[in-house]
Amino acid sequence: MFGVRVALKNAAAARVIAARSAPSALVARRFYSEQAEETYEQFTNRYVKFFENVDDQFELQRGLNNCFAYDLVPDVAICEAALRASRRINDYATGARVFEALKIKVDKKSQYEDYLKALKPVKDELGIQTKEELGL
């Protein structure tokens, strides 16, 4: 058993040395930036469509995590689609957490207030309250 470990370590070390000494033209490289960049409108349309087709809690939460992970604040249309999806699958808590995520994501309190104003009709229609409105 001990001899096998030594042989594996030696083989791995030989591969590393061979890769370092190989000419740069022969080294395989991956270029991850070859994909075209997505515009804000395309991003918005992609996530609105995603949330319109969500049918379980895991997918909804996964989509929200992915959407909010980007270095931008999601559009009102995305938030509306996410809120509607949360009520459609009967997940009130996730709907309320959309507002918490927006509050954390925006730079200024006035931006959060603008989102609340824009989403007020949907909020009232679906009966979703913010954390502050719930008294938490």
Question: Are residues 84 and 21 both part of a single domain?
Answer: no
pLDDT digits (tens, 9 = 90+) for 50-90: 999 999 999 999 999 999 999 999 999 999 999 999 999 99
CATH number of residue 60's parent domain: 1.25.40.40
> With bands split at pLDDT 50, 70 and 90, how would you rate the model's confidence at 32?
low
Residues spanned by the domain of 115? 38-134
Q: Higher pLDDT residue, 36 or 57?
A: 57
Q: pTM for the whole thing?
A: 0.73
Report the 10 Å Cβ neighbour count for 104: 9
Give the count of domains, the chain: 2
Closest by CA position to 54, among listed 79, 73, 75, 81? 81
- 26 shares a domain with 49: no
